[in-house]
Amino acid sequence: MKISATLSALLLLLFGAACAHAQEAGHGGHAAHASHAEVDGDADHKPHGSGHHRFDDADAWAKTFENPERDAWQRPDEVLAALAISETAVAADIGSATGYFPVRMARLASGGRVWGVDVEPDMVRFLNERARKEGLANLFSILGTFESPLLPEPVDLILMVDTYHHIEARPAYFRRLQSSLKPGGRIAIVDFKMGEIPVGPPESRRLAPEVIDGEMREAGYTRLTLDQELLPYQYLAVYGLDEGPTEKAQPEE
């Protein structure tokens, strides 16, 4: 499986234009989560990908990914509040880049752990150094591959921001992710709406929620919630594992 450029996954007006330019060059958050790529339209970093634009200068990209202007439309605090991350949660951000979401997640899950996953070694290096500087002993950044985030333990929540549409062979990818979820674990997908919006990739590269629903069902998940009002340019869809019908015990011969 591959993702277009390192995410998980940035900006409006001038900022958005600059980001959009970066996007055309190539977010990958880990496999899409090479970073929250696309903040702008794919300028965010994308994780797995082949032939993707490199985001190997994390210090330089941080000026774009962490630009405060992004907060106005990305609304990270509102997104995380909607996901109700507990203090003891174990969570992961696939496509973590310089830590826009993982740092906030780590502060909420102060008694748990947060794993930032990216396919760019310099993004991993940057986020680990940032966690150390900001005193976030519960935040760790790891290097994923195009096929797997290589999470070291099952998690309660996997967040993918502006990354889903970068992943190829998505049903197979998400079937593999099942083993990385705890019982009752969730996958939260934030991606761009259809129609005219000032950020994000071209509409031809976006996916409507119903398309994601179908692919996630194929991968063994059920949609738990869909919020299309929380964010101006993106929707938030949350999925859980489909337990399926309970099999009745077969009578003994």
* Residue whose pair of structure tokens reads 């692919």 in the numeric block: 215
Q: Could you tell me which of 93, 1, 97, 92 has the C-alpha nearest to residue 46?
A: 97
Percentage of the chain lying above the pLDDT 90 cut: 59
The pLDDT score that the predictor gives to residue 191 is 97
Tokens of 113: 């752990």
Q: How confident is the model at residue 56 (pLDDT cuts 50, 70, 90)?
A: low
Distance CA 46, CA 9 (A): 6
Q: What is the mean predicted confidence (pLDDT) over 128-138?
A: 97
Residue 164 Cα distances to 5, 34, 43, 69, 183, angstroms: 12, 11, 15, 23, 22
Tokens of 101: 């979401």
The pLDDT score that the predictor gives to residue 197 is 96
Q: How confident is the model at residue 252 (pLDDT cuts 50, 70, 90)?
A: very low
Question: Which of 147 and 240 is assigned the larger pLDDT?
Answer: 240
Percentage of the chain lying above the pLDDT 70 cut: 70
Model confidence over 200-219: pLDDT tens digits?
999 999 999 999 999 999 99
The pLDDT score that the predictor gives to residue 8 is 37
Distance CA 58, CA 73 (A): 23
The pLDDT score that the predictor gives to residue 167 is 85
Indicate the pTM of the whole model.
Answer: 0.77
Distance CA 159, CA 18 (A): 25
Q: How confident is the model at residue 68 (pLDDT cuts 50, 70, 90)?
A: confident
41, pLDDT greater than 50: no
Alpha helices (runs of H) in the chain, residue ranges in sequence order: 13-25, 58-65, 71-74, 76-83, 102-108, 121-133, 170-177, 209-218
Q: Could you tell me which of 215, 220, 214, 218 has the C-alpha nearest to residue 244?
A: 220
Q: What is the mean predicted confidence (pLDDT) over 227-253?
A: 75
Q: Could you tell me which of 12, 32, 5, 6 has the C-alpha nearest to residue 170?
A: 32
DSSP 2-32: -BSS------SHHHHHHHHHHHHH--BBTTT
**Which letter does DSSP use for residue 84 in this model?**
T
**Which letter does DSSP use for residue 145 in this model?**
-
Q: In what order do the strands lie in the sheet with 234-241?
A: 139-143, 113-118, 90-94, 155-161, 181-192, 234-241, 221-227
14, pLDDT greater than 90: no
Q: Which residues have C-beta within 8 Å of that of residue 149, sequence separation ≥ 6?
A: 30, 31, 33, 92, 94, 115, 117, 142, 158, 177, 180
Model confidence over 143-166: pLDDT tens digits?
998 888 999 999 999 999 998 988
